[in-house]
Structure 1
Amino acid sequence: MAEQEIDYSTLPLSERVTHKIWKVRLGAYEELTKQFTTSASENDPCFRPYLNDPGLYKKVVTDSNVAAQEAGITSLVAFLQYGGPNTCLRLRGTLVAPLAEKGLVSMRAGTKQKTIEALMYFIELDTPDPVIEELLPILNNKLPKLVTGTVLALKEIIKAFGTRTVNPKSLVKAMPKLFAHSDKNVRAETSSLAVILYEWMGDSIKTVLFPDLKPVQQKELEEAFEAVKGTDPQQTRFLLSQQLAAQGTTSDSSSTAQDDQDEELDPMDLVDSVDVSAKIPDNFYALMASTKWKERKEAVDELFKIVSVPKIAEADFNDLTRTLAKCIAKDANVAVVTTAANCVEVMAKGLRTGFAKYRSVVAPSLFERLKEKKVSVSEALGAALDATFQSTNLSEFMEDSMEFLKSKNPQVKQETALFLVRCLKYIKVYPKSNEIKQICDASVGLLSDTAKPVRSAAAEVLGTVMKMIGERAMTPFINDLDDIRKQMIKEYFDTAEVRAKPEKTSAPTSAAAPKSASKTLGSVPSRARVGGASASSARKPGTTPPALSTRSGEGLNGGGSSGRTAKPISSSRTSRMSSSTSSTLRKKVESEATLPSSPRPAAPSLSSSGGASGSLSSRGGNNRGLAGMALSSSNSTSHSSVLSAVDKQELSDLRRAKEEWLSKSTEFEAQIDMLTVENARMKKALSEITKVNDQLTEENTRKDIDMKVKDSKLQRARIEAEASQALIMKLQKAVEDLKSENQLSSIPIMHEDPTVEEAMEIHDASDGITASEQTSRRTSVRKSIVPEEEKENGYLLSSRRESYHSGSQRLSMYASKDNLTSLSGSATGAAVSLASDLNGTSGNAGSVESWKRAAEVTNQLKARIEAMKARQLRR
């Protein structure tokens, strides 16, 4: 009950964020989200603790409780959304990897969604490359669920920002390994990612991805690509820099940016170059000079295999291109010519702009060989010309094209004209005016050629040019043609497709406005020029007002790529526009007179609502609406003068404020640079410290292992020493027992020896005693001479018995009188053997006592032997 009564809300927020109770942390995370959402600005104090300690938010997003974790990631999204770019820069390096590893594997769909949203904000507030670099290593993780979640996040990033914002090079390189993953979910998610990339990149992705995939996977992807073919993906999220650029640019520059974005991603940027110059065989040039066409064919076939790579590294190919050009121009075998043209094509595609320096070598030979009527040869030559053109521009090919359009061979003229058509469809920028004139004059001349294919090709050239420059601009070139030829050109014009965009017009177009307009508005010169020169002068050089640039572009270019001319404005429409413009301007003047602090918005509203100056001057329209304005009165004149002074004052204030902000921004940028350098230095120092720490840790671990090994060896030595000491004590005790036994009489020892018993047996036999008497006699003797204490010490008796057995000989040799003489030596040997046994048992400490004992035993044996000899003599 006591725990339930505790009010954790009274604790500071910093303590509740790290509290051990998950419900307390959950409430703290929700309160963080509320604070961030209701913050006044990016500099609000609620952001400061977590900017100073980014590691604190790492604990939030990796919370062990799933409910608290979701709330923590939600607070991170609010933190990034309202905290500005500084939050991204401070937290990105610490949070991206842990956030992905913990959030993308969550069982809660909300956690996954919020994790992806947070990653989106990390990209949006700065650049995508650091985030992608943090996510790519996770693709090698052993946990399939984490890999699947990471691929899903990457797919959503590409889908939102597009490949024009996110560079897919490193991602595409990692995809073949993902397609070979053992988990089916990883492979399925990777296929979805490939489809998204195809929508943005087109067939470019096939060039890089398909060579590393299995045929079955290629077939499945082809089917998936076919389902989305022709779709036009749109970028749904924009970087902060893109958003600011879109807000601060005119429609003209916005259209230019859009045109730049429409360019497809170059697939060659995704692959690595290959050095093919070192792979060319040494005998290639010798084989190409051979008189046998089969050897030349083998040589060009081998070369085609070598140069057939997506990207070729730069090298010196002068000799190779000259050899191929000579083969194309003069070889009699069309198979060799076709393969040589194929080699030129793949080299031009592999070297791209690097092949431009070889254009003058191969282009004339390709044009000249267009006389071949065989379709396979002409197609190979045309493909080689197209690939060579893509490495240069139209200006480089103008001279050769114009020359071969005048060729006497109809096949050459037709193929050259078709080549020009393909060039005009491929280029993205308008040709120069003199180039258009040369193309049109040459094509008009071919319209009267005797060969129908040549006339059709010339008409297609003219129709394509008309599609680019418009019908009005094309009129001087085709005005003198008959209706049949004009109709033929019109048909090709309707079906032609070009990529070139109209040239952008500049701001000085406003200078073409009629002078009468300025005279009519002489009483309000500052307001009359709000859409013209005065407005353009207030902006940066090179920019154009939106309405003016749009109208001017239509008037000068004849309606852009559509080729339609602008229709004149009727007088009724002009009068209605003038009336609406007058009322609008009158309202603006009145409002500005009462509110002098906000006169500037009148310029864009005036230009966009009616185009009073810009659109009228570009159209050369009627000025009656402006002439009848109430602004011509003296009252309006005074208002205009006041407003002009206010405008000037506010303009100066704005310029001053702009300079202040620019100076502050420069200071901020300098501080950011300094902090960046300091951060890099600290990271470097941290890495060095970490490296030294790792080395010290490794060395400490090695020393600990050595100490443990030495301790184990010392322990074993102690155990062995204790065992040895116990053995020594035992042996010493045995030696002491032996010493105590030696103090006893030697007779029991002698009777214990089997040699004494044998001697007694020999003696009894010599005395004529029967066997039963001998047995009873020996038993009585043994009982009489063996002490009781010696019977109890059986161990010592057995030890001495074994010693005597190993050291003495059997006494059976003494059966005769002659052998008794050698008993002394045998006794001595037994004594020596006994001494040696004692030495091995007791060691050096008891060596002296052992020898003394052996000497006593020897003396006893000798005495017994002498006694036995004496008894023999008496008998």
Structure 2
Amino acid sequence: MAEEEDYSSLPLTDRWVHKVWKVRKQAYEEAAQQFEKTPDEYDPAFHPFTQDPSLWKSAAADSNVAAQQEGLAALCAFLKFASSDAGLRARHHAVTPIAEKCLTSTRAATKASALEALLLFIEIDVPGPVIEELLPVLSSKQPKVVAAALSALTQIYHNYGCKIADPKPVLKILPKVFGHADKNVRAEATNLAVEFYRWLRDAMKPMFWNDLKPTQQSDLEAQFEKVKAEGAPKQERLLRSQQAEKERAPAGDGGGDYEEDGGEAEEPVEVDAFDLAEPQDVLSKVPKDFFDNLGSSKWKERKEALDALYALVNVPRIKEGDFNEINRALAKCMKDANIAVVTQAAQCIELLAKGLRAGYAKYHSMVMQPIMERLKEKKQSVADALGAALDAVFLTTSLTECLEDITTFLVHKNPQVKEGTMKFLVRCLRTTKEVPSKQEIAAMVESAKKLLAESSEGLRSGGAEILGTIMKIIGERAMNPHLEGLDDIRKTKVKEFYETAEVKAKDKPKPPPPAARPPPGGPKKATGGVGVKKGPAGVKKPAPAPAAAPPADPTPAPAPRPGPGSKLGMPKPAGLGGLKAPQKRTLSGPAPAPASPKRPAPAQSPPPAEDEEEPPMSPPPAKPAPRIGLGRGGLAGRSLAKPAAPAAPAAPPSPTPASGLTAIERAELEELRDANERLLKALEDARHDRSKLLSEIQELKNQNASLIEDHTRDVLSIKAKETQLVRARSDAEAAEQTNERLRRELERLKRALSKAEALNAAAGSGSPGSPGSLGFRAMSPTHDDFYRDASNASRNRMSMASTLSEEKENGDGMPHPCTKLSPELRYGGRNASSGRGSPARGFRREVSVEEKEPRSVDMGYGGYNDRAGSRASSRTGGRDTPSSMNTSATSGMESWKRAAEVTSQLKARIEQMRARQASRPQ
């Protein structure tokens, strides 16, 4: 007992973390009792836990299950009675221990208290932070911890709904928990998915459905079928902010709003895949060669480029960026000759519009007209793709922005385009949530009436459907003026479409303005029972009320100064400010005169004495009171010091103010009409200017697109020219190498030719009359000399031929000399050879004739020398002459100029030989 007394004497915070579990348990119980007894949320009992919120971590993670149960009960009491700030400080320390230690407890009370604590943490603030604390617990290695956390998430969404608790973070991890090895985890994941389906329906499927196995999908579909029959869910628990708002609301509107917010049928419609999905960056993933492939001349390459783009944009939500170039390219694809390319481009536009939503509105003018122009396609699959693209683009804009293009294409020359545009307008009227303005309705009705006169039955029915849908929006009464001039058959057709049309926008009749309702005392105020008189100083004073006067005699009732009051358009009653009261009287019409005596006179304005002395005067009946501010003098045209108007014949005074007030109302109505006309005219001018500016913008966009195309074409041509220049440079280098090789070959041929000339000069060096010529044998060259010279020439020829053959094997062979060289070289070669027309051949005939003659020693040196020279010449001319050597050597040359030069040199040598022969003595 002494130990217990010592424990109870310890402070509460010390006992809270005591090593003995019973002491801790007693501390938890004592704290819970203190929290329940506190008068308000600022009681000192909360201060220790506000200053040190980590105390709740030790209580939630207590090692003793009995103490842990009491600790969670104390935490629930703390969250119920403490302030929201105190609960927010404890949230970070307590949520994770609760998820890891308490939700998996074997005690039902502990599990219930843990779940209640999590729901209270959400109630004092918002669900987001608690869900973020629970998500890391789903990665625990213990399956029971993961299953308990999934069960807690299911309860959170069941109590607060997906409108209060954001489902996106949990939907992302559903595929992971569905693939868990533990069956209990998979079962809790199924329960959580079913709870999501109660709130979100099919909008949640794009987030995780494709990552599930087919068997899991079929099992979930079976569970979803059971939920569909349950109806729409409702929010079961309210946040503190909602509770405070509910308390401030009137008694009759207590919880209805929150029940509707929490779970009416509209919520699953509002939450869709776009709201749940995260924006994905598509622009950075577009291939670099997308525009090049899209501009290819092969339709398959264009189709493949669009297929790649379709795979990128086929996501629930697209991150906004600059899609001008892509939409311009897709709009250009609408003119493609291949329908597969057109269909794929339309599908890409549809996905872009659905993925960007409101962010795509700025591109609608770029693609809508090309799509409508392509509606001439008769193939149904293409028409469906184009219609779906138009519908998706319309959802990003409004009917006002699209109406100009629609009315333009409703009068298109192509009937197919008319029909497609007509169907698109009907779909727009059915889906729009805003009631069109009167000008827009007039434009649509005018276009629909033109369709009623078409020769095609489809167009006529479409025009009637447009009129019936408009009638469903604005009502029959407002539509009747637009149907004037139509025959009964067409009106019946319009009525049929009106009865079957389903629209989302309906024009509600406006309630009449309060001024149009007759006030209760209107007729009494219209009699003008209180007059206005002029005092001596020219100041208006109220006249005495005619309450004492008999009802049968209303003439003495008005004071003698109603004349000036009638000029202002009304008598000024006492206690009323300005002209407001007469304006109300105008709507009630003229009132009978006897009603004015019943109105009590104001007590604060007694009539002066001098008024009674004046004779009673009736108001002038001959001239009605002018309008306020519209008479000749108006309010400023009459002096206040002027005496009363002269008497006139008696007449009932009541119609005078009534008629003046009606004129005032008419004047105001006319002014309002004029102002309305001016505003309408200004609106029409503004719309005209807007359409003009839009057309200029579109024209500038087209010019910009053409400039971009020209720039791209110029860049491609420059690249082609650069490629040609590189090739030309390489060809020039190859030609220079070839010229260098030919130059070396020419040098070699020159050396060979010089050697041949040297041999020829050596062969013809023996001339008659040289010193030391004593006899025929001594003075003339021998046969060995001729044979030696011939053999030398033959060797030179063979060396040159071998050189040419080596060049031919190395690939440097030249064209045949007979075909590539000039005619002079060909003929020169023949003449230089020992052919039939060769000079050497003729010389050989002479030598043969001379050889037939008898030889004598006395012939002398000249004859033999000539014969020997002719024999040597015939031998060399037939085979080894420089002419034949030069012809064989020049067979590898490409320059005909050099060949002609060599030929001329050979011809000159032949002429020299002939000259020597002619000068020889016979």
State the Cα deviation string for residues 774-803 of structure 1 (Å, max 9, x = none). xxxxxxxxxxxxxxxxxxxxxxxxxxxxxx
Name the residue aligned to 2:236.
Answer: 236
Structure 1 contact 210–218 (Cα < 8 Å) conserved: yes
1:90 to 1:288, Cα distance in 2 relative to 1, 3 A: closer
How far did residue 274 of structure 1 move?
A: 4.1
Amino acid in the other structure paired with 2:241:
S
Structure 2 contact 472–506 (Cα < 8 Å) conserved: no
1:168 to 1:431, Cα distance in 2 relative to 1, 3 A: farther
Amino acid in the other structure paired with 2:326:
L
Query: Does residue 431 of structure 2 align to residue 426 of structure 1?
Result: yes
Amino acid in the other structure paired with 2:191:
S
1:40 to 1:283, Cα distance in 2 relative to 1, 3 A: closer
Amino acid in the other structure paired with 1:454:
L
Give the distance between the partners of 1:395 and 1:116, measured in 2 at CA. 52
Q: Structure 2 matches for 1:817-836, cutoff 5 A?
A: none
3-state secondary structure, aligned to 1:203: helix
Higher relative helix content: 1
Give the distance between the partners of 1:49 and 1:501, measured in 2 at CA. 60
Give the distance between the partners of 2:443 and 2:257, measured in 1 at CA. 30
Name the residue aligned to 1:347.
Answer: 352
Give the distance between the partners of 2:215 and 2:6, measured in 1 at CA. 63
1:397 to 1:226, Cα distance in 2 relative to 1, 3 A: farther
Give the distance between the partners of 1:365 and 1:373, measured in 2 at CA. 16
Name the residue aligned to 1:305.
Answer: 311
1:146 to 1:368, Cα distance in 2 relative to 1, 3 A: same
Name the residue aligned to 2:165.
Answer: 166
Give the distance between the partners of 1:43 and 1:510, measured in 2 at CA. 52
Aligned length: 523
Query: Does residue 371 of structure 2 align to residue 372 of structure 1?
Result: no
Name the residue aligned to 2:336.
Answer: 331
1:307 to 1:15, Cα distance in 2 relative to 1, 3 A: closer
Structure 2 contact 281–318 (Cα < 8 Å) conserved: yes
Amino acid in the other structure paired with 1:218:
Q
How far did residue 370 of structure 1 move?
A: 1.7
How far did residue 107 of structure 1 move?
A: 1.7
Return 196-205 or 449-458, whichever deviates more: 449-458
> Identity, % of aligned pairs?
49
Name the residue aligned to 2:394.
Answer: 389
Structure 1 contact 430–503 (Cα < 8 Å) conserved: no
Give the distance between the partners of 2:450 and 2:352, measured in 1 at CA. 35
Structure 2 contact 69–109 (Cα < 8 Å) conserved: yes
Give the distance between the partners of 1:227 and 1:457, measured in 2 at CA. 42
1:319 to 1:196, Cα distance in 2 relative to 1, 3 A: same
3-state secondary structure, aligned to 1:162: helix
* Partner residue of 1:317 out of 313, 323, 332: 323
How far did residue 72 of structure 1 move?
A: 2.4
1:448 to 1:517, Cα distance in 2 relative to 1, 3 A: farther
Give the distance between the partners of 1:480 and 1:27, measured in 2 at CA. 92
State the Cα deviation string for residues 494-515 of structure 1 (Å, max 9, x = none). 554444587899xx98845835
How far did residue 376 of structure 1 move?
A: 0.7
Structure 1 contact 280–306 (Cα < 8 Å) conserved: yes
Structure 2 contact 204–272 (Cα < 8 Å) conserved: no
Amino acid in the other structure paired with 1:206:
K
Structure 1 contact 287–296 (Cα < 8 Å) conserved: yes
Give the distance between the partners of 2:110 and 2:151, measured in 1 at CA. 14
Could you say which structure has the larger radius of gyration? 2
Give the distance between the partners of 1:512 and 1:172, measured in 2 at CA. 57
1:246 to 1:363, Cα distance in 2 relative to 1, 3 A: farther
How far did residue 150 of structure 1 move?
A: 1.0
Give the distance between the partners of 2:57 and 2:74, measured in 1 at CA. 12
Give the distance between the partners of 2:91 and 2:78, measured in 1 at CA. 12
Query: Does residue 270 of structure 2 align to residue 264 of structure 1?
Result: yes
Q: Structure 2 matches for 1:2-151, cutoff 5 A?
A: 17-18=16-17, 20-23=19-22, 25-151=24-150
State the Cα deviation string for residues 322-347 of structure 1 (Å, max 9, x = none). 2322221x323222211121122122
Return 51-60 or 258-267, whichever deviates more: 258-267
3-state secondary structure, aligned to 1:127: coil
Structure 2 contact 200–268 (Cα < 8 Å) conserved: no
* Partner residue of 1:516 out of 516, 519, 522: 519
Name the residue aligned to 1:856.
Answer: none
Amino acid in the other structure paired with 1:173:
K
Structure 1 contact 367–412 (Cα < 8 Å) conserved: yes
Give the distance between the partners of 2:8 and 2:502, measured in 1 at CA. 69
3-state secondary structure, aligned to 2:42: coil
Give the distance between the partners of 1:503 and 1:232, measured in 2 at CA. 28
Q: Structure 2 matches for 1:701-850, cutoff 5 A?
A: none
3-state secondary structure, aligned to 2:54: helix
1:455 to 1:85, Cα distance in 2 relative to 1, 3 A: farther
Structure 1 contact 26–72 (Cα < 8 Å) conserved: yes
TM-score (norm 1): 0.53
How far did residue 468 of structure 1 move?
A: 4.2
Structure 1: gaps of 5 or more residues: 523-616, 621-631, 634-875
Structure 1 contact 444–478 (Cα < 8 Å) conserved: no
Q: Structure 2 matches for 1:472-483, cutoff 5 A?
A: 472-478=477-483
How far did residue 17 of structure 1 move?
A: 4.4
Q: Structure 2 matches for 1:362-511, cutoff 5 A?
A: 362-447=367-452, 449-478=454-483, 488-489=493-494, 492-493=497-498, 495-500=500-505, 511=514
Amino acid in the other structure paired with 2:159:
A
1:517 to 1:36, Cα distance in 2 relative to 1, 3 A: farther
Q: Considering only aligned residues, what root-mean-square deviation do their CA atoms show, in Å?
A: 4.0
1:155 to 1:459, Cα distance in 2 relative to 1, 3 A: farther
Give the distance between the partners of 2:426 and 2:432, measured in 1 at CA. 10
3-state secondary structure, aligned to 1:237: coil
Amino acid in the other structure paired with 2:517:
P
3-state secondary structure, aligned to 2:459: helix
1:36 to 1:429, Cα distance in 2 relative to 1, 3 A: farther
Return 92-101 or 221-230, whichever deviates more: 221-230
1:405 to 1:146, Cα distance in 2 relative to 1, 3 A: same
State the Cα deviation string for residues 52-96 of structure 1 (Å, max 9, x = none). 221222222223232332232223222212223223222112212
Name the residue aligned to 2:803.
Answer: none
Give the distance between the partners of 2:384 and 2:214, measured in 1 at CA. 28
How far did residue 32 of structure 1 move?
A: 3.7
1:500 to 1:82, Cα distance in 2 relative to 1, 3 A: farther
State the Cα deviation string for residues 630-685 of structure 1 (Å, max 9, x = none). xx99xxxxxxxxxxxxxxxxxxxxxxxxxxxxxxxxxxxxxxxxxxxxxxxxxxxx
